[in-house]
Each structure stands twice: as C-alpha cells, then as structure tokens.
Amino acid sequence: MISLAATLRLALQALVRNRSRSLLTMLGVVIGVAAVIVTVAIGTGAKTSVANQINGLGSNLVIVIPGSVQTSGARTGNGGASTLTVQDGLAIAKLPGVSAVSPSVNVRAQLVTGGQNWQTTVTGVAPTYTTVRSWDVSSGRFFSQPETDEAAKVAVLGQTVVHQLFPDGSDPIGRTVLVRGVPFTVIGLLSAKGQSGAGQDQDDTALIPYTSALERLTGGTTISTLMVSAVDGDHIESVQSQITGLLEQRHGIVGGKADDFQVRNLQDIAQAASATASILGLLLAAVAAVSLLVGGIGIMNIMLVSVTERTREIGLRVALGARSAAILRQFLIEAVVLSTGGGAIGVVFGIAGAAAIAVFAHWPSSVSVSAVLLALAFSAAVGVFFGYWPARKAARLDPISALRFE
C-alpha cells in the first residue's frame, strides 16, 4: 500500500506540473480568506473603538438629568424640569457603591482674552470631575475643593479653546479670560479627548467650579446634570436603583407620580453599539465567506478537469495494483493543498490589507489569532468538501474503460 508521504509527493508533483492553473485556482481562495480576515478585523476594530469611546465618557458613569414637567397642559421634554440641586448630589455621594459625584452647570458663553475671542460651553463642575470623567490635566492643575467652596474665579481650558484663544502658542497658564465679563484665571489645561461617538468636539470646553457658575454666571440654584461614578461596573445597576429611590424621596414623588428626573447609564448604549458592530461584522464576514465558497467551487471544477485529463494515468495505476483509497486520497490531498495554500497566502494578504486600512483610511482594525485560525480551518474544510466529489469520481473509475480513454 502506498504511504501517505508518497501520496502527498505525487499530489504535489501533479500540482507543480500545472503550476499556472494551480495558482489561478488558489486565487479564489486567496481572495476569500483575505476578505474574511479584513472584514472580521474591521468588525473587531469597530467594536473596540465603540468600547473605547464609551469608556472615554467616564468611569462607570451614571448620569442624572432633569425630567419633564407639565405646565398648563403643556409638557416639556426631558431637561425641562429645574429640580436637581447640589444637595441632591451630596446625598447621592453618601450612597454605597458610589465612588464620586460631580454636579454640572452648562453655560454657553463668549470667552475673551487679549485680541482673541471664542464661544464655547463653560461647564461648572466639582473637583471630582476628573475622576468621574477619567479626564487628566495635561499641564497646570485642576481647581481644589477650597476654591470650589469660595466660588473662586479659576478655569481649566480644553485644547480646542486653547488653540482658538492662544493661536501664537503662548502658555495660557496664569492668563486671564473674560467669561460674560467676569475675569477667570487659567490654572490648567485638559488633555486632548477628541471627538465623542456623536461627533462632538469634547475639547471645545472650559471648566470652572460649579459654585462660580451658579453665583457669578447664572445666578440660579439648580444644576444641569449630576454625573455619578460607581466603584465598578458591577455596582452600576444597584447605584442607578438607589439614586432613583433617593431622589424620589427627596423630591416628594409618591403615589405613582412621574419622576421629574431621569437616571441613565452608558452600559445600555455600549451594549447596543457593540451589538450593532457585531452584526455589521458578521454581515461583512458572511459576504466575504461567499467569495471563499466561490473559490471552493473553482477548486472542484479544476479537480474534475484534472480527473478527466488524467483518466488514463488513473487506469494505469489501478491496473498496476493501486487501490481506490490511494487514488481518493491523492486527489483529496491535491484539493486540500490548493485550498490551504491559498488560505495561507490569503492570511498574509488579509493581515496586510487590515494594516493598510488602519493606516490609510484611519479606520480601526484588529486581526485576532482566532480569526486567522478560523479562516485557515474554513479554507481546509472547503478543500475537503469541494474536493471529495472529484476524488471519489477518480477512485471509482473502471480501469479498463480508463485505459481505453482517449
């Protein structure tokens, strides 16, 4: 009985004899595997990008916003109720599972310094803001709790505001910026955050103590938002539930009345975005897998042609004592070599394509080992599946009829 090594050698010799045809046959598998790897890499990179954007919004963030109110039959949308206070935030900070809380007071204002001006969102926050939002200061410092208690006129600027107000590249630290005519001293600069998932420039902002925003800019007593950071992801749901119960108690909401606030977390947004990215990745991979199947059909077609061309050779081998199993194994090995060889080349092109997309298109992509192994396994399975019929046809040829074949 012919050994497996000898059968493999015969299969390789047959493929080398028709190297041009073999390479063209492998091309379909190369394109299919490369397409699968690139699309899976794009899908994986998109999921990672979404997760990073969500995490960039804050550390285990829970957001409390004003709800809707009804006045003379007319209902405002969310944010219409002016019921959230600093005291609400102080009470929430005492709940178990809460790491930090920062009130937020948003004011749209024109910033003026020297001969430059820029309109941006001035946000009054607490010193805990950097922890809640996971946002570091690149230079200078953030304002302290004593400065917040004193409603100090200090500000920390985002990078976009810095570039607009100080286009000459001078150091903003220690400079004075007018906000609605009130002078604020710049004490720090925020690190670059980039765009949010919605395309908003997060660096286009200026931060001041929330007490300064209330006393010096708005003259109000209510706040726009409460940002709450849970100690970890496992406590987010319990913290959200406790905040709801606490605020209902503090705001006197009983008897099934609608809440005048909303408590939201980013996990639902992250899960929805991740699910969307996963579905998109699967759709792209399915489309790419179709091209791999087309490559498999090409292998089957060429193997059938090869069986026809080598009919006399097969008949001669059978007449000399070769068993049907050996013939089957040889043609099956040829099909598998074509598919796995194309798969290996496709892996190289796929990794290179994913890297090129990341560099030139600035689209996130991530090639995982599991995707590479899956593509190789799938290409080998394609070779076995589409190569079995031609191999079986070759093994079942009648030797006498095969020898007479012209």
Crossing angle of the two packed helices 267-309 and 369-395, in degrees rounded to 10: 30
Q: Does residue 144 carry a pLDDT above 90?
A: yes
**Per-residue pLDDT tens digits for 173-203:** 999 999 999 999 999 999 998 776 556 788 9
Q: Does residue 57 carry a pLDDT above 60?
A: no
What percent of the chain stands above pLDDT 90? 27
Amino acid at 237: E
Contact criterion met (CB below 8 Å) for 281 and 368: no
Q: Does residue 116 carry a pLDDT above 70?
A: yes
**Per-residue pLDDT tens digits for 82-100:** 778 899 999 999 999 898 9
| Residue 44 structure tokens | 């994986």
| Residue 54 structure tokens | 């969500």
Which residue reads 């076995």 in tokens? 384
pTM higher than 0.75, yes or no? no
User: Side-chain half-sphere of 57: how many Cα atoms within 13 Å?
Assistant: 21
Nearest to 133 by CA among 109, 159, 107, 102: 102
**Per-residue pLDDT tens digits for 354-384:** 888 888 877 777 787 877 888 888 888 888 8
Listed in order, strand segments (DSSP E) in 231-323 are 261-265
**Per-residue pLDDT tens digits for 252-290:** 887 777 777 888 876 666 666 666 666 766 776 677 677
pLDDT of residue 152: 95
Segments making up each domain of the chain, as ranges = 4-53+272-404, 61-265
Q: Does residue 135 carry a pLDDT above 70?
A: yes
Q: Does residue 394 carry a pLDDT above 90?
A: no
